[in-house]
C-alpha cells in the first residue's frame, strides 16, 4: 500500500537563521519529485523537517494522515521512509542485522523484501556494514528504508560520492521504487539524475522555492547554472 505525500507551508529555522520558507509540494504515489539547488539552498533541511528530525512548522500528510507534530520514529512507523545523507548504517551490525532492525517495525500490509530490489546485497548478508564500500553502504541504506515498510520514500543525495556505474544503478533503483508505486521525494544537486528519472523538480534558492517544473525542461540547465553562481 502506497500513499501521496503532501507538504504544505513548511518552514525551518535554526535559531534566528531561516533555512527554509513556505515549501509546498505534493508527491503522488508512483511519482518522483526532486528538490534541486546549490549547497545551503535548504534541501536537506526540507527532508529533515518533513521527517521530524528537526523542528519545523507547516503540515505533512501521508495517505491522508497528518504527521506534523509527531516524532521521527512515529512518522517512520506511519510509513515515511528516509534515506539520510551520509548513509548512517549500523557499522557493527551485519548487513542482515541492519535490515532486520528496520523490518521489525514494518507494518504487515506494507512489508516488502528489500533484497528483491537490491539482490547485490545477498552475497554480503554476513558482512559487517562498516566493512562495505561506500556504494554498498548506500545500497544498504536504501534496503533498510524499504525493509521498514514505507508508503513514501525520501532520499537525500543518494548519488553523492558514487562512481558513474553506481550512480546509474542508484537511478535505476529509484526508478523501480517509483514504478512500484511509492511516492519518492529526492534531494539532488545533479540535474541529470532528475532528467534520467523524468522527475518533477522544485528548485530551492536560499530556502525559498525559485522554480517548479519538469527535469526535462530545456531552460532548466541555464536557470540552475545562474542560481548556483549567484
Query: In this model, does residue 18 exceed pLDDT 80?
Result: yes
Predicted TM-score (pTM) of the model is 0.92
User: What is the CB neighbour count within 10 angstroms for residue 57?
Assistant: 13
Question: Helix 134-147 vs helix 164-179: angle between axes, to the nearest 10 degrees?
Answer: 10
Read off the C-alpha cell for 227: 542560481
Contacts of 55 (CB under 8 A, 6+ apart): 12, 49
Confidence label for 85 from pLDDT (cuts 50, 70 and 90): confident
> So what's the pLDDT on residue 15?
82
Read off the C-alpha cell for 39: 549547497
Query: In this model, does residue 220 exceed pLDDT 60?
Result: yes
Rounded CA-CA distance 8/215 in Å is 22
Give the lowest-confidence range in 106-115, 128-137, 176-185, 188-197. 106-115
Rounded CA-CA distance 126/120 in Å is 13
Q: Output the CA–CA distances (angstroms, integers) from residue 101 to 30, 93, 202, in the order listed.
A: 26, 10, 33
Rounded CA-CA distance 6/28 in Å is 8
Rounded CA-CA distance 98/120 in Å is 15
What domains appear along the chain, each with residue ranges and CATH number? 5-88+151-229 (3.40.50.300)
Amino acid at each position: 500500500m502506497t500513499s501521496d505525500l503532501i507538504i504544505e507551508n513548511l518552514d525551518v529555522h535554526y535559531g534566528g537563521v531561516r533555512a527554509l520558507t513556505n515549501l509546498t509540494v505534493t508527491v503522488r504515489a508512483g511519482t518522483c519529485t526532486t528538490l534541486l539547488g546549490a549547497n545551503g539552498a535548504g534541501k536537506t533541511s526540507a527532508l529533515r523537517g518533513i521527517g521530524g528530525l528537526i523542528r519545523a512548522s507547516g503540515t505533512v500528510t501521508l495517505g491522508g494522515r497528518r504527521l506534523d507534530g509527531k516524532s521521527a520514529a512515529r512518522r517512520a512507523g506511519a510509513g515515511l521512509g528516509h534515506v539520510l545523507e551520509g548513509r548512517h548504517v549500523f557499522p557493527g551490525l551485519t548487513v542482515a542485522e541492519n535490515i532486520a532492525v528496520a523490518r521489525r517495525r514494518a507494518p504487515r500490509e506494507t512489508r516488502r523484501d528489500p533484497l528483491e530490489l537490491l539482490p547485490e546485497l545477498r552475497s554480503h548478508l554476513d558482512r559487517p556494514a562498516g566493512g562495505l564500500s561506500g556504494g554498498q553502504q548506500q545500497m544498504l541504506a536504501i534496503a533498510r528504508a524499504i525493509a521498514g515498510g514505507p508508503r513514501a520514500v525520501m532520499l537525500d543525495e543518494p548519488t553523492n560520492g558514487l562512481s558513474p556505474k553506481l550512480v546509474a544503478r542508484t537511478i535505476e533503483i529509484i526508478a523501480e521504487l517509483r514504478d512500484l508505486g511509492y511516492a519518492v521525494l529526492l534531494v539532488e544537486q545533479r540535474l541529470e539524475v532528475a532528467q534520467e528519472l523524468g522527475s518533477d523538480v522544485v528548485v530551492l534558492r536560499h530556502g525559498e522555492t525559485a522554480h517548479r517544473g519538469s527535469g526535462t525542461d530545456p531552460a532548466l540547465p541555464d536557470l540552475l547554472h545562474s542560481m548556483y553562481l549567484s
